Amino acid sequence: MKYHKSGFMKTLGLEGSTNGGGTGSSQYRDLDEVKASPAAERKLPWWVREVDKPTVEIDWSQMKHFDSSNIMFVNGFAQAVGPDNAMKLGGQAAETGTKSILENEPGYTLRDKALVAGGWLTSLLTAEHAFLGPGLTVPFAMSGIPDDLDYPRYEGIPEENTRMVRAAAKLYGAASVGVVELDENTRKLIYAFDGWDGRKWEFEDVDKAYETEKKKVIPYRAKWVIVYTVRMSPLSLATAPAALATAASSLAYSEGTSVQLRLQQFINRLGYQCLADGNMGTSGNSPGFGVLAGLGELSRLNRMISPNWGPLVRVYKVITDLPLAPTRPIDAGIFRFCRTCKKCAEVCPKQRPQYGNRTLI
pLDDT by residue (tens digit) across 243-261? 999 999 999 999 999 999 9
Model confidence band, residue 165 (pLDDT cutoffs 50, 70, 90): very high
pLDDT digits (tens, 9 = 90+) for 89-107: 888 888 998 999 999 999 9
56 and 28 in a common domain: no
Radius of gyration of the chain (CA): 21
> What whole-number percentage of the chain has pLDDT above 90?
56
Mean pLDDT of 40-50: 93
150 and 61 in a common domain: yes
Mean pLDDT of 56-78: 87
143 and 2 in a common domain: no
250 and 321 in a common domain: yes
Pairing mode of beta strands 215-219, 200-204: parallel
225 and 290 in a common domain: yes
Q: CA 138, 142, 146 angle in degrees (round to 5)?
A: 90
pTM metric for this prediction: 0.85
Within a domain: residue 361? no
180 and 245 in a common domain: yes
Q: Helix or strand or coil: residue 41? A: coil
| pLDDT given for residue 166 in this prediction | 96
pLDDT digits (tens, 9 = 90+) for 209-242: 999 999 999 999 999 999 999 999 999 999 988 9
Within a domain: residue 150? yes
54 and 37 in a common domain: no
Model confidence band, residue 150 (pLDDT cutoffs 50, 70, 90): confident
Burial 244-276 (b: 16+ CB within 10 A, else e): bbbbbbbbbbbbbbbbbbbbbbbbbbbbbbbbb
Mean pLDDT of 266-270: 91
87 and 16 in a common domain: no
Within a domain: residue 360? no
113 and 132 in a common domain: yes
331 and 184 in a common domain: yes
92 and 9 in a common domain: no
Per the structure, the complete domain to which residue 161 belongs is given by 50-355
Q: Are 218 and 190 in contact (CB under 8 A)?
A: yes
Q: CA 17, 239, 358 angle in degrees (round to 5)?
A: 135
80 and 9 in a common domain: no
Dist. CA 305–CA 295, nearest whole Å = 8
